[in-house]
Amino acid sequence: MADDSGRFKFELDPESIEDSLKQLGERVRRLAGDHRYSKVRLLFRGKPLLPDIPLGIFIAGQAASFWWAGPVRLVLLNLGIGSIIEVELVNEADEQVAEGRAAFMEGEVEAAEERYREALRMKPGDFAATYSLAVLLRVRGDKAGARALLEEVLADPPEHHQDLEKAQALLEKLQ
């Protein structure tokens, strides 16, 4: 099962490579709706096997590779054994949030706000982007805007997020 980041483990069966690849493709397609701005990262024992691949290219490559060797098929053939690889969907919105937090820490409030809003455009309702933007708005003195964002994101909070308790505490302070 995938966690909030879109990361999951998938068992590859060398006895039925076609079925394994079909199942992997179906699973990635199901996750694609939330990951429009994502890249696929394939990990083996915690280390990337290939450079990150844009999700659309990965899906197209797997579909086109039905008759020829696609990237996952090549990895399977090189490993040559039943293996578990980790598939991680890396969303560009996460990069925007990280850039926004770095800008905020450097005092570049306008740049930070732009990055958070861009992250929310890419991934509406993203908890990290919404919480970070709420903190920024509170610091700027826009307590009503911060409260509205926190109420929105905490109406359906993720089960596990590093900032969940902080967001709940901040909302209580703003009440």
Residue 114's pLDDT is: 97
Of the two residues 124 and 83, the one the predictor is more confident about is 124
Extract the tokens encoding 63.
Answer: 């579909």
Q: Is the pLDDT of residue 7 over 90?
A: no
In what helix (H) or strand (E) does residue 88 lie, and over which residues does it extend? strand 83-91
Let me know: does 173 contact 149? Beta carbons within 8 Å: no
Where are the chain's structural domains? Answer: 7-91, 93-174
pTM, two decimals, is: 0.61
Torsion of CA 95, 100, 102, 107, to 10 degrees: 170
Per-residue model confidence as pLDDT tens digits over 15-52: 777 787 777 777 776 666 556 667 777 777 778 877 88
pLDDT confidence of residue 1: 36
The per-residue pLDDT for range 105-163, each reduced to its tens digit, is 999 999 999 999 999 998 888 899 999 999 999 999 999 999 999 999 888 877 777 88
Least confident of 59-63, 76-80, 139-143, 169-173: 76-80
Output the CATH code of domain 93-174. Answer: 1.25.40.10
